[in-house]
Amino acid sequence: MDFVMNFPFFSIMLCMFAALATFMLGRKAAGIVAKAAISITLIMSVVLTAWLHMSGESFVYMMGHFPAPWGNEIRAGELEGIMAVFTCIIALLSMTTGKTSIRTQVDDTKQNLFYLITCLMEASLLALIYTNDIFTGYVFIEINTIAGCGLIMIKNTGRAIASAVRYMVVSLVGSGLFLIGTTLLYSITGHLLMENIFDSVSELFSDGSHIVTLTIITALMTVGLSIKSGLFPFHLWIPDAYAVSIAPSSAMLSGMVSKGYIFLLIKLIYRVIGFEVFKETGVFDLIFIAGVAAMIMGSVSAIRSEHLRRMTAYSSVSQIGYIFMGIGIANDAGMVAAIFHIITHGLTKSLLFMSASSFTGKKEDIRIRDIKGMGHKHPVSSAAFTAAALSIVGFPLFAGFIAKMLLANASFGEGYKMYIAICAIAISTILNVIYFFRCIINLYAFGGFEDKDRENSIAGGDTAKEEAEFLPTRYERIVHGVSVSVLAVLNLYIGVAPKLLTSILTKGLNVFN
Amino acid sequence: MLEQIYNHFNDIVAAILFVIGFSNLLFQKNLIKKIIGINIMDVSIYLLLASQGYISGRIAPILTDGSENAVTYINPIPSGLVLTGIVVSVSVTALMLSMTVRLYRKYKTLDLDEILMKVRREKEESEK
């Protein structure tokens, strides 16, 4: 056994222990520990992905001393590796860009808890990505929910706690449905490990027995996971949760938390229920329709909202719709496109929230008409925001364009789904252009912008001093600028040279079952 | 029909409990009642899960009189899963209760609709 095979286990455990350590440390030390742990995890994940890409294989790693049908296992392939890399990047950059927000918007004594929640979130996401046991999946879904709830309410305001309660209520319904699905699956197969369930399910399916039960199980688990990832009819908690919490929380919630559930759903399709059985149950069509509806309705709500971060949150709803539409097309190309879009949307949406944080300052949200002229005051953030907006709209050279192209390509030859998918992409793109270009035009408009901070500092006095507390320091500004530039460059790189990523995803999907 | 009901008694009770818990969670306005709804919902799932592992006439899988024959005992895995699930639901309940306490201190009410209304008013005032 190669030493590299230990890396998935190491990365989960490292994040867990880092979370425990930050609980006892002060604010600065906690930040350093969390960043170091996630950086090491990032390096390990990159090495693992490279190693798996070279060998083109996947492996199963035994946890504990009980062999296959009884014990617990984790599995790593290229898909898992690249997802781990992607979540680490977002978690790390959210922490570096969010320094100002954490310092000014979280209580002094509770700032180390932000790092605790981030490490816990990363650990639970990694476990969701790597797990080969469906009940472990359920447990880490719950840990992920609790950590997500913590991310929302780390800002101790009434609004934040109220939206955390709403998030929790909706999420618990989702995980309840997932648990019932797991229970029924165990009762008809007698297994909890994904490979064993897969074998039993295909046996049951070829017998023709338990077809109704299998359909119910698939529907329950799919609905449960789509409630948690915020698919269209269940999206009502998204705008509150994303727009109320502090900027790094929103970046992580939108960028990686909802994506972990979608990845688990893809795992369920390929490794638990089996692609053919899943297709036979007709749940794919349900996902497809909900995805298309989300693409349109999310964009319409985004156009109607007046506030910048709320608009970005609604845009998340429509982008999640794209991902589910890709899954609903029900072929391998669609699945590759969906995972590609998981990654591009994660990178883009977290970039939007991070760069928007320098426009909003200490305020929770900002009206879109109030960002007039901000482009001249925050050049780096505005450039990054523009890049991310262009990427989401699907402008060539950016990652979003490749994702949309892959989605459209995947739908060819799929009958009625082709027409619906292409029309939906076209309509949604036009709607995206409407609301994002409104922001960009406002950003770079002249006039209407008053330099209140400078007036204040000239006037001197206590208010200016208090204001200065909330402004980012020089060091924080530099770190913020570098981090958003890294994300923007990554976006551009995937857009210009998507070959590497698509080859990893295609190869990973081939060895997935 | 009656025999069917008798054979699946646990499952039917679990389904009824789940519906009670689910509707409590979604339609009750009081936060404490919502949390009770969550607990009823979780318990119903654990009942379903535990009854999957029960084999009538056998005893709990604890070595007392030294019989190592598996035929003596029920299936222990669902019981183990139920234990894990109970731990999860305890922590979720604790978290929900702590959030309820915080909201009550701030808004002096447990009614979620009223809280959301006050929150909205707060937001509108802050924007003026």
The pLDDT value recorded for residue A247 is 87
Task: Confirm if A319 and A262 have CB atoms less than 8 A apart.
Answer: no
Distance (Å) from the C-alpha of residue A115 to the closest C-alpha of chain B? Answer: 18
DSSP H helix total and E strand total for chain A: 24, 2
Cα(B60)–Cα(B57) distance, rounded to whole angstroms? 10
Q: Cβ B106–A161 below 8 Å, yes or no?
A: yes
Assess A149–B contact: CB distance below 8 Å, yes or no: yes
Q: Domain B2-127, what fold? A: Helix Hairpins (1.10.287)
List the single range of A41-45, A97-101, A468-472 with lowest mean pLDDT.
A468-472
pLDDT of residue A84: 92
| Contact check, Cβ <8 Å, A180/B45 | yes
Burial (CB count within 10 angstroms: exposed 0-12, middle 13-18, buried 19+), residue A466: exposed
Q: What is the chain A residue with the closest CA to B11?
A: A184
Look at residue A59 and give its three-state secondary structure.
strand
Give the integer Cα–Cα distance in Å for A491 and B119: 37
Mean pLDDT (whole number) for A254-266: 90
Query: Who among A146, A186, A364 is closest to B95 (CB)?
Result: A146
- Cβ-contact B106, A158 below 8 angstroms: yes
Kindly list the distances between the CA atom of residue A434 and the CA atoms of A431, A511, B99, in Å, as whole numbers in the listed order: 5, 41, 39
CB contact under 8 A, A176 and B106: no
CA of B32 vs chain A CAs: smallest distance (Å): 12
> Is the pLDDT score of A511 beyond 90?
no
Q: Could you report the per-residue pLDDT of A124-174, keeping only the tens digit for each?
A: 999 999 998 999 999 999 999 999 999 998 888 888 888 898 899 889 889
Q: How far apart are CA A20 and CA A178, in angstroms?
A: 28
Rounded to the nearest angstrom, the minimum Cα separation between A402 and chain B is 39
A111 Cα to chain B: minimum distance (Å): 18
Q: Is the ipTM of this complex over 0.90?
A: yes
**Helices in A245-365 by DSSP H: which ranges?**
247-252, 258-267, 275-281, 283-304, 308-328, 332-360
Q: What pLDDT is attached to residue B43? A: 92
> In Å, how far is A178's CA from the nearest CA of chain B?
11
B9-18 pLDDT, tens digit each: 888 999 999 9
pLDDT in the model for residue A448: 55
User: Greater confidence, A342 or A470?
Assistant: A342
**Mutation for B interface: A151, A170, A172, A360, most B CBs within 10 A:** A172
C-alpha to C-alpha distance for B30 and B51, rounded to whole angstroms: 32
> Which tops the pLDDT comparison, A47 or A451?
A47
B89 to A134, A229, B83: CA distances (angstroms): 18, 20, 10
Residue B97 has pLDDT above 70, yes or no: yes
Give the range with max mean pLDDT: A104-113, A289-298, A365-374: A289-298
A307: three-class secondary structure by DSSP? strand
Query: Which residues, including other chains, have CB under 8 Å from residue A353's CB and lie 6 or more apart?
Result: A242, A247, A250, A251, A254, A255, A309, A312
**A145: which chain B residues are within 8 Å (Cβ-Cβ)?**
92
Question: What digits encode the pLDDT tens for the residues A185-237?
Answer: 998 888 888 888 988 888 888 888 788 888 999 999 999 999 998 888 888 88
Chain A CB within 8 Å of residue B115 CB: yes
Q: Which helix (H) or strand (E) holds A457?
A: helix A452-459
A139: nearest CB among B42, B84, B100: B84
Euclidean distance between CA atoms A338 and A325, whole angstroms = 8
- Write down the mean pLDDT value for chain A: 86
**Judged by CB atoms within 8 Å, which residues 26-65 of B form the interface with A?**
26, 31, 34, 38, 41-42, 45, 48-49, 52
Contact A298, A316 (CB under 8 A): yes
Domain range list for chain B: 2-127
CA distance A72 to chain B (A): 12
Residue B93 is predicted with a pLDDT of 93
Asked if A135's CB is within 8 angstroms of B84's CB, the reply is yes
Judging contacts by C-beta atoms under 8 Å, the chain B residues touching residue A213 are none
Locate the chain B residue with the closest alpha carbon to A367: B127
Q: What's the length of chain A?
A: 513
A161 contacts chain B (CB < 8 A)? yes
Please report which helix (H) or strand (E) contains residue A61, including its range.
Answer: strand A59-63
Is B106 in CB contact (< 8 Å) with chain A? Answer: yes
| Percentage of the residues of chain A whose pLDDT score is greater than 90 | 27
Determine contact, residues A214/A281, Cβ cutoff 8 Å. Answer: yes
What is the per-residue pLDDT for A465? 57
- The tens digit of pLDDT for each residue in A438-478 reads 888 888 887 655 555 544 444 445 555 556 666 777 888 88
Distance between CA B77 and CA B74 in Å, rounded? 9
Integer Cα distance of A191 and A210 in angstroms: 16
Interface contact flag, A168 B99, Cβ < 8 Å? yes
Residues 64-93 of B with CB under 8 A from A: 77-78, 81, 84-85, 88, 91-92
- Mean pLDDT for A393-414 is 88
What pLDDT is stored for residue A468 in this prediction?
65
The per-residue pLDDT for A463 is: 55
Q: Of the ranges A14-18, A126-130, A175-179, A445-449, which one carries the lowest mean pLDDT score?
A: A445-449
Question: What's the pLDDT at A208?
Answer: 81
Separation of alpha carbons A239 and A312, rounded Å: 8
B chain contacts of residue A186, beta-carbon cutoff 8 Å = 49, 52, 78, 81
Asked if residue B61 lies in contact with residue B71, where contact means CB atoms within 8 angstroms, the answer is: no
Q: Which of A145, A159, A186 sits opposite B123 (nearest CB)?
A: A159
Contact A179 B45 (CB under 8 A): yes
Q: Give the tens place of pLDDT for each residue, B33-70.
A: 999 999 999 999 999 888 888 888 787 877 777 677 77
A188–chain B Cβ distance below 8 A for any pair? no
- CB–CB of A169 and B52 under 8 A? no
Report pLDDT for A467.
61
Cα separation, A76 vs A370, whole angstroms: 47
Q: Residue A463: CB partners within 8 Å, gap ≥ 6?
A: A456
